[in-house]
Structure 1
Amino acid sequence: MSASPCLAGPAETRHTGGPGGERFAYRRFGRAGTTPLVTHPRLRGTMDHWDPKLPDLPAAEREVVVCDSHGLTASTGTPVGAIEEMAEGSLAFIRSLELTGLDVLGRSLGGTVAQGVALAAPGRVPRLMVAGSSAGGAPCLPAPPTRGRQTVGKPVNDDEDFLHLLFPEAEEARAAGLASLSRLGHRLKTSGAVIGPDAVRGQSQTIGTFKGFGERQEEFTLPALVALVANGAHGAHGAHGVMIHSYPAYAMSQRPPNAKVILPSDAGHGFPFRHPEDFAHEVSRFLP
């Protein structure tokens, strides 16, 4: 195992320049010399909003890269609106690091962006992992619960909002959520990283208007994770999600070759935070 600093420790924040003069903030840690795992954060997320266990556990075997998206928090530039533009911003960051081969992991909004990266640069991305997200475009879905929709739309979310959106309303789940918040505080208490209300509105509008990659799923010929499997598509989702219905993740698994879905029965949209060890184990099984 590499002695490199992990996210929960003193991993150094670095910067790299983009083609338009923007500066991307990122951290790179884990086992050097392996294919990097480049992550894409959730709605409202920054590189400090990953539960530290999620990148740290895979970093025992792989190099992991976390970053702030184009124009958000520690990265400079103008925030972009469309999913395709977010994917191109991620590719600009990837090119700036001269990464010719990488695996991508995206959670929630980041899961959609990760799909865009894989579609835009199929020769560069050998494996795709999608968590708490889908390709979109699934018809006849029920509307999300009113409280969940209202909570997502708030300019600022507090800890109780985090627990409601990401964890089922059960005592054990709440305890897991509070433990995750405590781990998140390791970085956030120092950085104070937050996505501002204007950027949140922009992200929400993007999600609301995006038609999805459903019609392009057959373009995925790489191993992908709609849940994690070797030589397959990996998509992971929680059965009790109040933000994203589980069915689109299942539907996505029917399109790419050798796809698999992970659907924990006791978790919601925050299932990787509820079961970080299990999720990290699935990631490690999926990656070579």
Structure 2
Amino acid sequence: MASVTHQTALTQFVEADGVRYAYRRFGAEGTVPLVMLQHFTGNLDNWDPALVDALAAEREVVLVDYPGVSSSTGTAATNVAQTAQQMIAFTTALGLEQIDLLGFSIGGFVAQDMALVRPRLIRRLVLAGTGPKGAPGMHSWRKDIETHARAEVPTGEDLLYIFFAHTETSQAKGVEFLGRFLARTEDRDVPSSLASRNAQYDAVLEWGIPNHGALQRLTGIRCPTLIVQGEDDLMIPTRVSHLMAGLIPDAQIRIYPDAAHASLFQYPTEAAKDVNEFLG
């Protein structure tokens, strides 16, 4: 019997607090599940199959849509703290007493809050292409990035612009990513709505309001943490990843060259190896 992959995993549903969460769960059973939290407006199919399948070869992975996003019901939260509580409710509904947690972009915001308010739940934490609450340069995106990120009907060109470095080599890797993430045709997740996009952008703005004191929250994250980033993120400044690494007590950082926001999609094999070794 063929093993389940990112392309063949069935979409399942579980209810918590009146929300019907869409999720996919597959991979190596008997391991601590790795819950993966998606980027701005992203859904189950916006993950890179090459990354997810390489992770799933060594551990069980759980992909999920936030409430109000794509195939999950409910209303999208307008702040990160509420989303974190929703994701905690999701893990409770699945009966998960301990998880590893990977948050990408806005998912990294949510993952930080989850690690702070429910430390017993998180064994190890991976923060990819993300930044801390209140850090300099986090309050909104520069205009060209915002235009592409908030496009009413996002295109491949939009993703290439915001996710990959503006070099020939990085853009070529981005085109390869587009081919992988569009490969699934059956049981594909539905696009995010404009309402969920607007709510998530409100959450991004609230998280990024300059607040030097908020940075001290990071000292409360006690689980081992791996920070993954591209060397020139145009969406969330790479320098704030170094800031996180300095403030989280047990953190290490991996910077990928010639890469921007979606370094883990540009280097799926290398990123999966780094993450699996860290979680193992």
Same fold (TM over 0.5): yes
Report the residue type matching 2:251 in the other structure: A
Matches within 5 A, 1:187-226: 187=184, 191=188, 193-210=190-207, 211=209, 214-224=215-225
User: Which residue in the other structure is 1:262 paired with?
Assistant: 254
CA contact (8 A) 1:17 1:24 kept: yes
TM-score (norm 2): 0.92
Bigger relative contact order (CA 8 A; separation at least 6):
2
Q: What is the deviation of 1:150? A: 2.5
| Equivalence for 2:279 | 287
For the residues of structure 2 that align with 1:165 and 1:221, how far apart are their CA atoms?
31
Q: Which residue of 2 aligns with 1:228?
A: none
Q: Deviations over 1:263-288 (max 9, x none)?
A: 22210111111100010011011012
**Residues 63-78 of structure 1 aligned to structure 2 (within 5 Å):** 63-78=60-75
Q: How far apart in 2 are the matches of 1:218 and 1:204?
A: 26
SS in 1 for 2:190: coil
- Which digits, 9 at most, give the CA deviation of each residue in 1:233-277, with x for residues without a partner? x11111221111111111010112232221222101111111000
Contact 2:223-2:250 within 8 A present in 1 as well: no
Which of 97, 111, 131 pairs up with 1:114? 111
Cα deviation, residue 93, structure 1: 0.6
Cα gap change, 1:165 to 1:70, in 2 (>3 Å): same
Contact 2:138/2:236 (8 A) holds in 1: no
3-state DSSP class of the match of 1:260? strand
Residue 268 of structure 1: SS of its match in structure 2? coil
Unmatched runs of 5 consecutive residues or more in structure 1:
225-233
In structure 2, the gaps of 5 or more residues are none
Q: Deviations over 1:77-121 (max 9, x none)?
A: 222221011001101110000100110000000011111111121
1:202–1:141 distance in 2 versus 1, CA, 3 Å: closer
- 1:47 pairs, out of 44, 47, 67, with 44
* Residue of structure 2 equivalent to 1:170: 167
Tell me if structure 1 keeps the 8 A contact 2:165–2:171: yes
SS of residue matched to 1:241: coil
For the aligned residue pairs, the C-alpha RMSD in angstroms reads 2.0
- C-alpha spacing 1:3/1:103, structure 2 compared with 1 (3 Å): farther
- Confirm or deny: 8 A CA contact 1:134 1:235 kept in the other structure: no
Which residue is equivalent to 1:247? 239
Q: Is the 8 A contact 2:44 2:189 kept in 1?
A: no
What is the deviation of 1:140? 6.5
Q: How many residues align?
A: 276
| Cα distance change of structure 1 residues 21 and 139 upon mapping to structure 2, 3 Å threshold | closer
Aligned residue for 1:56, secondary structure, equals helix
Q: What is the CA-CA distance between 1:189 and the residue it aligns to?
A: 7.1
Give yes or no for contact 2:78–2:201 (8 Å, CA) kept in 1: no
Q: Which residue of 2 aligns with 1:278?
A: 270
Identity %: 33
Match of 2:9? 11
Deviates more, 1:210-219 or 1:41-50: 210-219
CA distance in 1, matches of 2:144, 2:101: 32
Task: From the superposition, tell whether residues 58 and 253 of structure 1 become closer, same or farther in structure 2 (CA, over 3 Å).
Answer: same
Q: Which deviations, in whole Å up to 9, do the C-alpha atoms of 1:7-66 show, x marking residues without a partner?
A: 12x211111111x22211111100111100000000010111101112110111100000
SS at match of 1:191: coil
One-letter amino acid of the counterpart of residue 276, structure 1: P
Q: Which runs of 4+ in 1 moved over 4 A?
A: 140-145
Indicate conservation of the 8 Å contact 1:156/1:197, yes or no.
Answer: no
Q: TM-score, normalised by structure 1?
A: 0.90
AA in 2 matched with 1:118: A
